[in-house]
Structure 1
Amino acid sequence: MTAAPTVDVHAHVLLPEVEALVAGRPGLTAARALDARRNGAAALAVSGRMVRDRAPRMTDVPARIAAMDAQGVDVQLVSPSPSHYHSWAPRDTAEKVYRLANEATAAHCAGAPHRLRGLGLAPLQHPDLAVTALDHALGQGLLGVEISSHAPGRELSDPAYEPFWSRAEDSGALVFLHPFGCTLDERLDRWYLSNTVGQPTENAVALSHLIFSGVLDRHPELRILAAHGGGYLPTHIGRSDHAWSVRPDAGADCAHPPSSYLRRLWFDSLVHDPHVLRELVRVAGADRVLLGSDFPFDMGSDDPLGTLRSAGLADADFHAVRGANATALLDLA
């Protein structure tokens, strides 16, 4: 177990070429206005400075590797910044975005192929394009795709995504569920609630759609990794189990108690609380939790190994989360 590399499965790459592509296109202004309403002016000002300060670690491979070395991380699974989703984009723009994002992410990882693995993007606003985007990502040598918790007007339980789930299952691709934005909108526009409350909420809602709709029953071999420890769902899964057991509407499309599906998903360790991390390991299983830092954003952990150690896990569980689980899931051996 201790011989496995230390693997961080939640690390981001910034792709200026994607932003250059969408600049000036119809729809971008409205999308940015919505983002501003959801986050509030104070949060946007702080985030702008933070991203500028940390951008070199998301764009420059030597800077990234130096930071990884300082953290004691051997391998990162690199995914595009969720700001690159651009779920407002019409079909032609969305196709250009995912192709450019996939190719640019693959090129970034090629700068240190023994240290970096990558994920592409899939445009959920166009369900059929999500399938071709996944195939394109795999063709670039990426391990799968990153997706948001929903698309405008569509939840992950939407039947239109069935071909995407089928293709992901058949190909063995990894699907990294990472929300961007929260539909609670202006209710969260102060004190950075858009992230601190919004992201865990979006994770919980998206995973609940996958569980209660039967997506995980129909596609039992799906490999889904949830960011932010799955949000609120793992620590409140008892409420879901209770509803499933007492209400016929809650259990209509889900074959088993919701808690049982946690052991068929994977979760990163980024929960910011050692007690919550221990509970995540308990309910999902030590073999289903992977080290994640949200590198290099300020809402992540600059010392992911130290954060993991603070949970006081059993030695075998610590090394499983540190890297053995990811080594198996990503086939790094």
Structure 2
Amino acid sequence: MSTAPTVDVHAHILLPEIEALVSGLPGHDAAKELDARRNGPAALAVSGPMVRERILKLTDVTVRLKSMDAQGVDVQLVSPSPSHYHYWVDEETAEKVYRTANEATAAHCSAVPDRLRGLGLVPLQHPDLAVRALDHALEQGLAGVEISSHAPGRELSDPAYEPFWTRAEETGAILFLHPFGCTLDERLDRWYLSNTVGQPVENAVALSHLIFSGVLDRHPGLKVIAAHGGGYLPTHIGRSDHAWSARSDAGAGCAHLPSSYLKRLYFDSLVHDPHVLRELVRAAGADRVLLGSDFPFDMGAEDPVGALRAARLPEDDFDAVRGRNAAALLDLTLI
């Protein structure tokens, strides 16, 4: 039997102090209106009460630990709620946001450092601040930072992020790619399509930018974890491979078949379908998939280990995804 802990790499914390920082600032109302348009009134009516019901799990360490124990999770990698990105704020406010997020997340995790590791934030809308924000997160003892799939007017392939990728590679920082908001906007404003379709789309687009632009060629040591199993990309990567082989424009930016880069990335297991999870493990490799629950939101897995077990992976693969891979990535002491 393995001695590796069970590690959930997709768990969130809510930080009211960040919302207090941005409330009332120019642009705040417009950002809220955009979010409302993208999600639609029915989704907002459900999401508000859902979050309120989970406030203690999102903020109270004792309640978090009880929930982890009930799930059979030994360690969580805790990242701020993506609602805290606020990529619309100016540079001065952005620095306050990332410092507050990094320090508050570190304080939350430091209460039980053997069970909680943390990630900070980086203001992608201001690339010149990205390295400083990453360094600040690492100085707090965090394992890395969480980023969205894009910032307004900038894709992850933007050359302005090159210093950030360089620094992340140098330091071995973990980059947790977790989208917030889909640019398909009102096309997804009913039936919670903004999340069910939007999140997988954003994951696939962001990863494609990293792959096709050559970011992963230039920075092969990057430690990127894609939330939601990487979205649609891993199970539809054959289309990318075909384009790379058949078209000069598609193949101009990266050196190898797009599918080969899946084995340079990490993916959480949160795909909500055992057959899709098996295909993710096949496409990326059992050593590249990590247990993820999206704790404690309603689009997460209440029993992440049970969801993993439902995929009926070989025992060694099951154990790798359950915790061995993440324990190695986070340099956890085996327990």
SS in 2 for 1:136: helix
Which residue in the other structure is 2:180 paired with? 180
Q: Does 1:67 align with 2:67?
A: yes
* C-alpha distance in structure 2 between counterparts of 1:74 and 1:250, whole Å: 43
Which residue in the other structure is 2:148 paired with? 148
Q: Does 1:209 align with 2:209?
A: yes
Q: Does 1:125 align with 2:116?
A: no
Per-residue deviation, residues 22-54 of structure 1 (Å, max 9, x unmatched): 111111100000000000001011000000001
Q: Where does 1:221-300 land on structure 2 (aligned, <5 Å)?
A: 221-300=221-300
Which residue in the other structure is 2:16 paired with? 16
Per-residue deviation, residues 180-211 of structure 1 (Å, max 9, x unmatched): 00000000000000000000000000000000
* C-alpha distance in structure 1 between counterparts of 2:201 and 2:233, whole Å: 8
Q: Does 1:108 align with 2:103?
A: no
1:293 is matched by which residue type in structure 2?
Answer: S
* C-alpha distance in structure 1 between counterparts of 2:265 and 2:280, whole Å: 12
Task: Give the 4+ runs in structure 1 shifted more than 2 A.
Answer: none
SS in 1 for 2:32: helix
Which residue in the other structure is 2:51 paired with? 51
Which residue in the other structure is 1:320 paired with? 320
SS in 2 for 1:119: strand
Q: CA deviation at 1:101?
A: 0.3
Per-residue deviation, residues 54-81 of structure 1 (Å, max 9, x unmatched): 1100100000000000000000000000
* C-alpha distance in structure 2 between counterparts of 1:130 and 1:191, whole Å: 35
The runs of 5 or more residues in structure 2 that have no matched partner are none
SS in 1 for 2:312: coil
SS in 2 for 1:250: coil
* C-alpha distance in structure 2 between counterparts of 1:6 and 1:232, whole Å: 26
Give the TM-score, by structure 2 length. 0.99
Aligned-residue sequence identity (percent) comes to 80
Compute the RMSD of aligned alpha carbons. Answer: 0.5
The runs of 5 or more residues in structure 1 that have no matched partner are none
1:262 is matched by which residue type in structure 2?
Answer: L
Per-residue deviation, residues 283-304 of structure 1 (Å, max 9, x unmatched): 0000000000000000000000
Which residue in the other structure is 1:25 paired with? 25
* C-alpha distance in structure 1 between counterparts of 2:286 and 2:200, whole Å: 21
SS in 2 for 1:239: helix
Per-residue deviation, residues 118-143 of structure 1 (Å, max 9, x unmatched): 00000000001111100000000000
Which residue in the other structure is 2:77 paired with? 77
2:127 is matched by which residue type in structure 1?
Answer: P
Give the TM-score, by structure 1 length. 1.00
| Paired residue total | 333
Per-residue deviation, residues 258-308 of structure 1 (Å, max 9, x unmatched): 000000000000000000000000000000000000000000000001000
* C-alpha distance in structure 2 between counterparts of 1:254 and 1:68, whole Å: 41
